[in-house]
């Protein structure tokens, strides 16, 4: 055993990111580390390398108990790491970035010539013929990623950790990377490979460790773990029994289509998406992380520009240049991360709720307080927001009630389409089904809802129809009567087989 | 052929700004040489260098600090403190004065570094506090008046004498800049300074010893300010607790004019020297202009004009850099 991490726990500001997680890696083994976004993979890695300090647990590396207090120490001990975030100093040259912290020296000074030639030589292996004296900021994301990979593989480490190294690489570059990894393995190097593209994992890894919610939930030889099983472990199952909220099968096809994407594409993340939302339905959008769900929502809401294909709203073609244009059509978006681009924590419920409505609430340039009060108290009542008063700061509310306020923010603008991205993330079970019920009753009143969700139970319970994305493409549309866990998992794991359409 | 030209081409937008400051310096020297009779006289050149060496030393330390993304507001007060300490110790021997002044500067610098890295206080606040403390200490030690240095131990040689026809302070500054250039361009630690300014967290993840490097940089800044204080005392024959006011701003201006970004991560030692000389040169030119007798600019007006000149140079650089990246 090269590395053994046991019982690792870590909390950030009282919130557990890891709870007794474990990771074991044998000599010259390639280990896949997988899990949904937020499962704790990156945190586990950072604890190993000394970027974070653990609260509990033991780490044995090469037979010795270790506790690295900084990345410098783990690097010296033979662990090379490509972190998920930017790994390079943007204004420094390519050559410097490859050698930073272990520069070749002559008489104590930098040996620039050796550095330049060495850098050019390793980059040759990666088919990169670039000017190594230029700052890395001059190059695109894929080239920068290759540079950080080159930096890692030249460290002569015993253990090489790669946190989502392929996210910005194309197939050819991934192939080069895999060739390099295989060579390293032959030379006795062990590799931890964190990734989301399942076919890549099966192509290169010997074993797999699956994490969920800060726990290690399964470890297995890669070939003994069927793809469906792997996805099931990653997504897990909520025990909460959501009531069946969806409409009866068959009744939905008659309703008019309100919003439709055809062969939509933008950038690299959204390649070819067909998607429609009918009036008064909850249209589900499923897919693994990185499949392009959030990015598709960003196109509809005008954050990203539609570059290929078409977008129709109520039958007429649109290409929103900015969210304001989408909002003018009555489209609202409740984003994935409430804390980052949702709530304004120190502002009151009243202000948070009417933020999107303020322009319309003005009378002679001043907010019409009476109308504001009327609207706020109406939504607090109808959505059942539990609060002491409308003037309470929103940060004092529970997650579920914060989410209701955000829903109200859009509902009071009287939207016709509401996009909700992971509407129940970070909300306790009871409040989850309440939010879902609320979305259901809004749809019954005619609102078109696009619900992005990673939780199968949630889609099964509330969606009238689910479109499944994989790698930026819509690979299946499951109508209500075909909606089952089995079918959803099969469609999501679909990217492995490469074929498309047979489920739709 | 193209490879030949490429080797001269500026590799970053900062390079353009650095070329700009050299052009401005050359233009100003040419202007002075054509307009004033004694501008290029040995006397003017030598006294210009003797006086401006102090500012050049402080600017060098400031440049290193700013390259890490920090700032050192204490350098002016530290120079004043060091001048007092060295004046007080100068009767013992000339090297006691020298060591005392440098030591005082080094101590404050180390303290700055410790407060910033260990207590995680913003450099602006930490060095502002150090500035107030150093200022108070200087006044206490000097009893609120200037402290005359000893003329018997040879201490004044450091500030007033020449070596090979060149002022000793200028030799000291030149040596410091050569060492500074070697450090930044040719030593691994120097590259780490820039990488830290590029992004402290990334630098730490890349395995650099961020805290140690920052500590070293603030220590060097304090040491150079201390050295400037020793030269101040030796040159004017007295430790001056009330001098040094605004020197930190002069140093920051030199660094910025030299094309170093306040956000850190880029910069050049040579251009910092050119920046310091350029700002000193503006002062020199204004003095000559007054000497012509046509107009008489008070010190206040000179300050206004220097400020405007600084603004013009910085705006021109911003133009140059934005064009090159567009
Ligand atoms: N520096 C941090 N401060 C606060 N919370 C953090 C920090 N780093 C990670 N977390 C939290 O820890 C959890 C696990 O995150 P992470 O390890 O990045 O997951 P993964 O890499 O599997 O996507 C998340 O809930 C995340 O919000
Ligand atoms: Mg991660």
What does the H/E/C string look like for A29-94? CEEEEECCCCCCHHHHHHHHHCCCCCCEEEEEECCEECCCCCHHHHHHCCEEEECCCCCCCCCCEH
d(CA A214, CA A54): 13
Architecture of domain B2-325: Orthogonal Bundle (1.10)
A242-330+415-504 shares the fold of A3-235: yes
- Tell me the pLDDT band of B280, cut-offs 50, 70 and 90: very high
Q: Which residues of chain A are at the B interface, by a Cβ-Cβ cutoff of 8 Å? A: 51, 70-72, 75-76, 81, 83, 85-93, 96, 100-103, 105, 108-110, 112, 133-135
Q: Does residue A35 carry a pLDDT above 80? A: yes
pLDDT value at position A498? 42
Res A465 pLDDT > 70: yes
The reported pLDDT for the residue numbered B263 is 86
Identify the pLDDT of residue A172: 83
How do residues A371-424 score in pLDDT, each as one tens digit? 889 889 988 888 888 888 899 888 877 777 888 888 888 888 889 999 999 888
Alpha-carbon distance of A435 to A427, in angstroms, equals: 9
Dihedral angle at the C-alpha atoms of A131, A133, A136, A139, nearest 10 degrees? -20
In CATH terms, A242-330+415-504 corresponds, of 3.20.20.70, 3.40.630.20, 3.40.50.720, 3.40.50.300, to 3.40.50.300
Q: Where are the domains of chain B?
A: 2-325
- Tokens of residue A223, six digits: 């070939």
Q: What is the pLDDT of residue A340?
A: 65
- Ligand 1 center from residue A18 Cα (angstroms): 9
Residue-wise pLDDT for B218-237, tens only, equals 999 999 999 999 999 999 99
Tell me the per-residue pLDDT of B268-277, one tens digit each, with 9 for 90 and over.
999 999 999 9
- Hey, which residues 159-188 in chain B have their CB within 8 Å of chain A? 182, 186-188
Distance (Å) from the alpha carbon of B203 to chain A's nearest alpha carbon: 7
Q: Calculate what percentage of chain B has a pLDDT beyond 70.
A: 93
Which one is the CATH code of A3-235: 3.90.76.10, 3.40.50.300, 3.30.200.20, 3.40.50.720?
3.40.50.300
Instruction: Enumerate residues lining ligand 1, CB below 6 A.
Output: A 12, 17, 35, 37-43
Q: State residue A411's pLDDT score.
A: 86
Provide the pLDDT for residue B125.
95
pLDDT value, residue B12: 58
- Can you read off the two tokens belonging to residue B195? 């990488």
Listed residue (A284, A304, A256, A308) closest to A421, CA to CA: A284
Express each pLDDT in A251-271 by its tens digit. Answer: 556 788 999 999 999 988 899
Query: Residues B46-92: pLDDT tens digits?
Result: 999 999 999 999 999 999 999 999 999 999 999 999 999 999 999 99
Alpha carbon A143 to its chain centroid, in Å, reads 22
Give CA–CA dist B78/B128, Å, rounded.
Answer: 11
**Prediction pTM value:** 0.74
CB contact at 8 A, A385 and A394: no
Nearest CA to ligand 1 atom 3: A12
Rounded CA separation A452/A287 (Å): 9
Least trusted range by pLDDT, from A184-198, A277-291, B6-20, B307-321: B6-20
CA atoms within 13 A on the CB side of B11: 16
Evaluated on CA atoms B299, B300, B306, B309, the torsion sign reads negative
Distance A231 CA to ligand 1 centre (A): 20
Cβ distance A92 to B202 less than 8 Å, yes or no, reads no
- Beta-carbon contacts of A456 under 8 Å, excluding residues fewer than 6 positions away, are A235, A237, A286, A485, A488, A489
| Domain assignments of chain A as residue spans, ordered by start | 3-235, 242-330+415-504, 344-414
Residue nearest to atom 6 of ligand 1 (CA): A12
Q: Tell me, what's the pLDDT at A246? A: 56
- Among A425, A24, A14, A16, which Cα is nearest to A216's? A24
Give backbone dihedrals phi and psi of A58, rounded to 5 degrees, phi first. -125, 150
Give yes or no for residue A429 having a pLDDT over 70.
Answer: no
Average pLDDT, chain B: 89
The pLDDT value recorded for residue A68 is 96
Closest atom, ligand 1, to C-alpha of A84? 21
Residue B108 in tokens: 């404050």
Distance from C-alpha of A144 to C-alpha of A92, rounded to nearest angstrom: 12
Distance between Cα A289 and ligand 2 center (Å): 11
Interval A71-87 mean pLDDT: 90
Report how far residue A397's alpha carbon sits from residue A389's, in angstroms, rounded to the nearest whole number: 11
């Amino acid at each position: 055993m090269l590395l053994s991490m046991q019982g690792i726990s870590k909390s950030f500001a009282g919130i557990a990111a890891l709870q007794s997680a474990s990771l074991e890696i044998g000599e010259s083994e390639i280990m896949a580390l997988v899990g949904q976004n937020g499962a704790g993979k990156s945190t586990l890695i950072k604890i190993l390398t000394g970027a974070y300090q653990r609260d509990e647990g033991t780490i044995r590396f090469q037979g010795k108990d270790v506790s690295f207090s900084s990345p410098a120490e783990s690097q010296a001990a033979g662990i090379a790491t490509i972190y998920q975030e930017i790994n390079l100093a943007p204004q420094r040259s390519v050559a410097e970035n490859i050698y930073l912290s272990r520069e070749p020296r002559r008489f104590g000074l930098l040996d620039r010539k050796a550095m330049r030639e060495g850098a050019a030589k390793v980059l040759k292996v990666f088919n990169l013929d670039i000017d190594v004296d230029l700052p890395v900021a001059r190059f695109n994301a894929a080239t920068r990623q290759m540079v950080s990979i080159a930096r890692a593989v030249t460290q002569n480490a015993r253990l090489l950790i790669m946190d989502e190294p392929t996210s910005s690489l194309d197939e050819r570059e991934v192939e080069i990377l895999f060739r390099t990894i295989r060579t390293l393995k032959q030379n006795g190097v062990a590799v931890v490979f964190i990734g989301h593209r399942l076919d890549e994992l099966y192509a290169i890894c010997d074993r797999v460790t699956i994490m969920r919610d800060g726990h290690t939930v399964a470890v297995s030889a890669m070939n003994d773990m069927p793809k469906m099983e792997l996805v099931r472990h990653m997504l897990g199952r909520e025990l909460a029994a959501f009531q069946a909220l969806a409409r009866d099968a068959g009744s939905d096809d008659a309703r008019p289509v309100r919003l439709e994407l055809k062969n939509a594409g933008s950038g690299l993340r959204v390649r070819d998406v067909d998607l429609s939302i009918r009036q008064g339905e909850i249209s589900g959008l499923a897919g693994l992380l990185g499949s392009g769900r959030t990015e598709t929502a960003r196109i509809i809401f005008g954050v990203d520009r539609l570059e290929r294909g078409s977008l129709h709203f109520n039958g007429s073609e649109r290409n929103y240049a900015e969210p304001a244009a989408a909002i003018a059509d009555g489209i609202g978006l409740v984003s994935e991360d409430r804390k980052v681009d949702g709530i304004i924590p120190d502002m009151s419920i009243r202000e948070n709720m009417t933020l999107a409505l303020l322009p319309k609430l003005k009378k002679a340039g001043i907010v019409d307080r009476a109308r504001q009060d009327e609207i706020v108290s109406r939504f607090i009542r109808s959505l059942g927001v539990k609060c002491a008063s409308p003037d309470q700061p929103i940060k004092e509310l529970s997650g579920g009630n914060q989410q209701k306020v955000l829903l109200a923010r859009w509902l009071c603008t009287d939207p016709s389409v509401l996009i909700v991205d992971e509407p129940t993330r970070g909300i306790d079970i009871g409040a989850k089904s309440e939010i879902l019920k609320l979305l259901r009753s809004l749809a019954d009143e005619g609102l078109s809802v696009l619900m992005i969700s990673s939780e199968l139970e949630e889609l099964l319970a509330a969606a009238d129809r689910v479109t499944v994305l994989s790698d930026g493409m819509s690979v299946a549309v499951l109508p209500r009567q075909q909606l089952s866990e089995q079918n959803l998992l099969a469609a999501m794991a679909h990217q492995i087989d490469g074929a498309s359409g047979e489920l739709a | 052929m193209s490879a030949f030209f490429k080797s001269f081409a500026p590799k970053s937008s900062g390079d353009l700004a650095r070329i700009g400051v050299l052009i401005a310096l050359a233009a100003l020297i040419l202007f002075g040489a054509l307009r004033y009779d004694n501008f290029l006289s040995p006397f003017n050149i030598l006294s210009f260098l003797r006086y401006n060496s102090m500012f050049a030393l402080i600017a060098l330390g400031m440049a290193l600090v700013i390259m890490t993304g920090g700032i050192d507001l204490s350098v002016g007060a530290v120079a004043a403190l060091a001048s007092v300490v060295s004046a007080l110790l100068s009767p013992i021997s000339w090297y006691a004065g020298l060591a005392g002044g440098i030591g005082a500067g080094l101590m404050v610098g180390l303290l700055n570094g410790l407060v910033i890295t260990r207590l995680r206080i913003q450099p602006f606040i930490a060095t502002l506090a150090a500035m107030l403390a150093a200022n108070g200490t200087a006044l206490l030690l000097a009893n609120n008046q200037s402290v005359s240095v000893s003329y018997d131990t040879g201490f004044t040689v450091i500030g007033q004498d020449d070596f090979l026809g060149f002022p000793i302070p200028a030799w000291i500054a030149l040596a410091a800049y050569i060492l500074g250039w070697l450090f930044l361009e040719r030593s691994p630690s120097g590259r780490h300074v820039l990488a830290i300014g590029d992004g402290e967290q990334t630098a730490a993840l890349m395995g650099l010893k961020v805290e140690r490097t920052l500590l070293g940089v603030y220590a060097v800044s304090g040491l150079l300010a201390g050295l400037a204080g020793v030269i101040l005392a030796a040159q004017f024959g007295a430790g001056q607790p009330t001098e040094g006011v605004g020197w930190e701003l002069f140093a920051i201006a030199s660094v910025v004019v030299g094309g170093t970004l306040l956000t850190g991560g880029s910069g050049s030692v040579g251009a910092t020297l050119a920046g310091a000389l350029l700002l000193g040169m503006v002062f020199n030119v204004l003095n000559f202009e007054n000497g012509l007798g046509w107009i008489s600019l008070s010190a206040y007006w000179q300050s206004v004009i220097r400020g405007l000149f600084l603004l013009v140079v910085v705006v021109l650089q911003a133009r140059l850099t934005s064009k090159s990246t567009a």
